[in-house]
Amino acid sequence: MLDINLLRTDPEKVKENIRKKFQDAKLPLVDEVVALDKANREAMQKADALRNQRKVLSKQIGALMGKGQADEAEKVKSQVNAMAEELDALQAKEEEYKEEIRKRMMVIPNIIDDSVPIGRDDSENVEVERFGEPVVPDYEIPYHVDIMERLNGIDLDSARKTSGNGFYYLMGDVARLHSAILSYARDFMIDKGFTYCVPPFMIHGSVVTGVMSFAEMENMMYKIEGEDLYLIGTSEHSMIGKFIDTILDEETLPRTLTSYSPCFRKEVGAHGIEERGVYRIHQFEKQEMIVVCRPEDSMEWFKKLWQFTVELFRSMDIPVRTLECCSGDLADLKVKSLDVEAWSPRQKKYFEVGSCSNLGDAQARRLQIRVKGTDGKKYLAHTLNNTVVAPPRMLIAYLENNLLPDGRIAVAKPLRMYMGGKEYIG
- Would you call 350 helix, strand, or coil by DSSP? strand
pLDDT value of residue 55: 76
| pLDDT one-digit tens code per residue, 108-120 | 999 999 999 999 9
Element at 70 (helix H, strand E): helix 70-105
Q: Which helix (H) or strand (E) holds 388?
A: strand 382-389
* φ and ψ at residue 352, rounded to 5 degrees: -70, 135
Below-70 pLDDT ranges, the chain:
58, 61-64, 66, 73-74, 76, 268-275
> Under CATH, which architecture does the 122-425 domain have?
2-Layer Sandwich (3.30)
Q: Is 85 exposed, middle or buried (0-12, 13-18, 19+ CB in 10 A)?
A: exposed
Phi, psi of 246 (to 5 degrees): -120, 155
Contact 381, 290 (CB under 8 A): no
pLDDT in tens, 246-260: 999 999 999 999 999
- Residue 60, CA distances (Å) to 56, 77, 189 in order: 7, 9, 70
Determine the distance from the C-alpha atom of residue 142 to the mean position of all C-alpha atoms in its chain, rounded to a whole number: 34
Question: Superfamily assignment of 4-105 in CATH?
Answer: Serine-tRNA synthetase, tRNA binding domain (1.10.287.40)
| Closest to 352 in 3D by CA, of 322, 373, 326, 377 | 322
Question: What H or E segment, with its residue span, contains residue 18?
Answer: helix 11-20
Tell me whether strands 195-197 and 255-264 are parallel, antiparallel or unpaired: parallel
Q: How far apart are CA 80 and CA 215, in angstroms?
A: 48
* Residue 341: strand pairing partners: 321, 352
**C-alpha span between 383 and 256 (Å, rounded):** 10
**pLDDT at site 385:** 97
Q: Residue 355: what pLDDT?
A: 95
- Please enumerate in sequence order all residues whose Cβ is within 8 A of that of 420, keeping only pairs 6 or more positions apart, or say none: none
Query: What does each C-alpha distance from 283 to 163, 232, 276, 295, 413 come to in angstroms?
Result: 11, 10, 15, 34, 28
Note the pLDDT of residue 276. Answer: 72
pLDDT at residue 272 in the model: 57
Q: What is the pTM of this model?
A: 0.90
Domain locations in the chain as residue ranges:
4-105, 122-425
- What confidence tens digit (pLDDT) does each residue in 50-79 have? 888 877 776 776 666 767 777 776 676 777
Q: d(Cα 94, Cα 164) in Å, to the nearest integer? A: 49
Q: H or E segment at 126?
A: strand 126-131
Rounded CA-CA distance 425/417 in Å is 14
Q: pLDDT at position 233, please?
A: 92
Segments in 106-196 forming alpha helices (H)? 144-150, 156-162, 172-191
Contact (Cβ atoms closer than 8 angstroms) between residue 215 and residue 266:
no
| DSSP E strand stretches across 137-282 | 154-155, 169-170, 195-197, 202-203, 222-223, 230-231, 246-249, 255-264
